[in-house]
Amino acid sequence: MARGLWFLSRAVGRLRPLLVQGPTRGFSASAPEQLHVCVVGSGPAGFYTADRMLKGHEGAQVDIIDRLPTPFGLVRSGVAPDHPETKIVVNQFSRVAANGRCSFFGNVTLGRDISLSELHKTYHAVVLAYGAESDRSLGIPGEDLRGIHSAREFVWWYNGHPDMCDLCPDLKNTESAVVLGQGNVALDVARILLRCKAELATTDITDYALDALRGSTIRKVYLVGRRGPVQAACTAKELREILGLKNVRICIKESDLLTTPADEEEMRNSRIQRRVYELLSKAASAHGGNNYNDQKELHFLFFRRPTRFIPAENGSTIGAVQLEKTVLKGDEVTGKQVAVGTGEFEDLKCGLVLKSIGYKSLPVQGLPFDKNRGVVPNLRGRVLNSESETATVERGLYVVGWLKRGPTGIVATNLHCAEETVASILEDDKKGVLRPPSDSKKHGRTGLLEILEQKNVRFVPFSGWEKIDSMEKMAGQLRNKPREKITTWDGLQKAANE
């Protein structure tokens, strides 16, 4: 038996009722024509797309593939462990996966196990929802020194993503960490570094991360923004949470809070910006006074941009970040205030740097990609063959989520994004675009299973994930946590195969 057959027979077993659903008495005349849809990526954008597709078309058969053996993308590996309420959405996604017209194929990598053109030939519609699994880089000297990580790597590490379980960030040899960027991801990583470990112990943070954080010597975290407090990219709820951490002193320079007419104008136009600014101002005056010895410190540094990473004496690990002071200038093209260097520099000593300046999507072979914006060029989710004005639509190819609009927005933002993309698919199907007479037959799920079998790809069905899930929950119970995640590729595959 080929390596993948055990899974194959189980999946086909689940599918049988669908495959034999041919003409039956009193039903055949109105049975909707099948529409085979493949969604690549099982994060929020992928699952919302599957959900809307199943609801929007009675004949839709939706297969979701993911390179990980586990579903839910950023909800599992991105959302902070101390934000369990954000993860509740997996219940909704699990109900989608349980729909008889939906199947999950974990452990299948687009571009390695199956190509985009193979998917294209097999499905009426292919929806790319694989998000942003890489990082923007600063492109400044010293970026590869030890002790510098992207925030994504650090987040994946404490959340047990199998690609980052061996990161082992050194939290023991320094008292200062620098986080570059002031978005919500920056706040997440700063909060995890500073939060009381007893509070973290009851979350689904991985055991190894909790141990490392318990042994951490980091007392000071610097959140560095290249612009001012009015432009901080975080949102009010997340800011309020970090400002309220137990036993953490907040340090903000009063002089950084002075505003210009342009700042006031920005705040008039954005409630979120005004709220963030107000919270920072309040925190600056509330925390100005006492310092207790055992208190940790969170420093908000504004108007500073990183220009160089300076090695420690050993020459190979990070010792300090060189920062250039900035001022804001209006950009004529975008109308935004941008940071401009002043030529005045200072060094900020640290032993850990987390670069939190944004995630980055990567293209796969055969996919049009706008390198400057880091997105797939698209028209309401329909993939375009280039960014030019004369671009044409790639029939049957769609995009959703961060790959469609860039790496911004919360979980719920993907719902509207998915609705737009699904509306485009349904419209195209109605117009007959997805089934031109000249086109060969699309086999959908049976075609996918054949390709995976031929290539000996051992995929993990949703029932495999359910085994991982129950093992993790059982292990968590013993530690008084919601779950103890399995964090290695081998461990996950073994658990799925139990």
Which residues sit at the interface with ligand NAP, rule CB under 6 A?
A: 138, 180-186, 188, 225-227, 231, 233, 235, 238, 305, 356-359, 407-410
Residues whose CB falls within 8 Å of the CB of residue 267, separated by 6 or more in sequence, listed in order: 230, 259, 273, 274, 277
- Asked whether residue 185 is marked as a ligand-binding residue, the answer is yes
Reduced 3-state DSSP string for 398-436: EECCHHHHCCCCCCCHHHHHHHHHHHHHHHHHHCCCCCC
How far is residue 217's CA from residue 176's CA, in Å, rounded to a whole number?
8
How far is residue 141's CA from residue 144's CA, in Å, rounded to a whole number?
8
- Asked whether residue 445 is marked as a ligand-binding residue, the answer is no
Q: How far is CA 433 from CA 120, 136, 394, 429, 455, in A?
A: 14, 37, 11, 6, 31
Residues whose CB falls within 8 Å of the CB of residue 290, separated by 6 or more in sequence, listed in order: none
- Asked whether residue 110 is marked as a ligand-binding residue, the answer is yes
CB of 188 to ligand NAP, least distance (A): 5
- Asked whether residue 142 is marked as a ligand-binding residue, the answer is no
- Asked whether residue 59 is marked as a ligand-binding residue, the answer is no
Sheet of 125-128, strands arranged across: 102-105, 60-65, 35-40, 125-128, 393-399, 382-384, 378-379
CB of 373 to ligand NAP, least distance (A): 13
Q: 184 or 206: whose CB is closer to ligand NAP?
A: 184
- Asked whether residue 183 is marked as a ligand-binding residue, the answer is yes
In which element (H, E) is residue 378 found?
Answer: strand 378-379
CB of 62 to ligand NAP, least distance (A): 26
Nearest residue to ligand NAP on Cβ basis: 183
- Asked whether residue 402 is marked as a ligand-binding residue, the answer is yes
Q: 4 or 43: whose CB is closer to ligand NAP?
A: 43
Q: 122 or 356: whose CB is closer to ligand NAP?
A: 356
CB of 359 to ligand NAP, least distance (A): 6
Q: 238 or 263: whose CB is closer to ligand NAP?
A: 238
- Asked whether residue 118 is marked as a ligand-binding residue, the answer is no
DSSP state of 167: -
Q: 159 or 182: whose CB is closer to ligand NAP?
A: 182
CB of 267 to ligand NAP, least distance (A): 15
CB of 132 to ligand NAP, least distance (A): 9
Q: Tell me the torsion sign for CA atoms 75, 80, 86, 87.
A: positive
Q: Which residues sit opposite 349 in a β-bridge?
A: 320
CB of 177 to ligand NAP, least distance (A): 16
Distance linking the first and last C-alpha atoms of the chain: 18
As to burial, measured by CB atoms within 10 angstroms (0-12 exposed, 13-18 middle, 19+ buried), residue 438 is exposed
Q: 138 or 251: whose CB is closer to ligand NAP?
A: 138
- Asked whether residue 226 is marked as a ligand-binding residue, the answer is yes
Q: 417 or 496: whose CB is closer to ligand NAP?
A: 417
Q: 37 or 187: whose CB is closer to ligand NAP?
A: 187
The pair of three-digit structure tokens given for residue 275, joined into one six-digit string: 């709220």
In contact, 249 and 287? CB cutoff 8 Å: yes
- Asked whether residue 409 is marked as a ligand-binding residue, the answer is yes
Angle at which helices 271-286 and 236-243 pack, to 10 degrees? Answer: 10
Residue list for the binding site for FAD: 45, 74, 110, 402
Residue list for the binding site: 45, 74, 110, 182-185, 226-227, 238, 402, 409
Residue list for the binding site for NADP(+): 182-185, 226-227, 238, 409
